[in-house]
Amino acid sequence: EVQLVESGGGVVQPGGSLKLSCKASGFSFSEYDMSWVRQAPGKGPEWVSAILSGQRSTSYADSVKGRFTISRDDAEKTLYLQMNSLKPEDTALYYCAKDFPIATMNFGAWGQGTQVTVSS
């Protein structure tokens, strides 16, 4: 059974920071690309970032480049997303997802999501 459990969301003011975590189980975490996806109210899902297995190269959506950093700890089967300089438009439900199918958004699995709210 594949499980992805996100944590670390919360309410922060613009310019603040949060670090999200995703604990994975039920699959060989180190062998899979991993992604963060978010969905704001009334909008479709938006891919945010990905980190590949092996070389651990990273990719980011233009909207978060320079502000967010994705990382992973394969030994602990945990994915992270450090979010700095947060903006109100970053407000969304953030999901941890297995794979990096950016064209189709057909991820192998999703977590339950953790809410991030950026508001003054």
Instruction: Render pLDDT for 34-89 as a digit per residue (tens, 0 to 9).
Output: 999 999 999 999 999 999 998 899 999 999 999 999 999 999 999 999 999 999 99
Supply 97's token pair.
């997802």
CA torsion sign for 20, 25, 30, 31 is: negative
Confidence at 105, pLDDT banded by 50, 70, 90: confident
Count of alpha carbons within 13 Å of 98, Cβ hemisphere only? 20
Confidence at 102, pLDDT banded by 50, 70, 90: confident
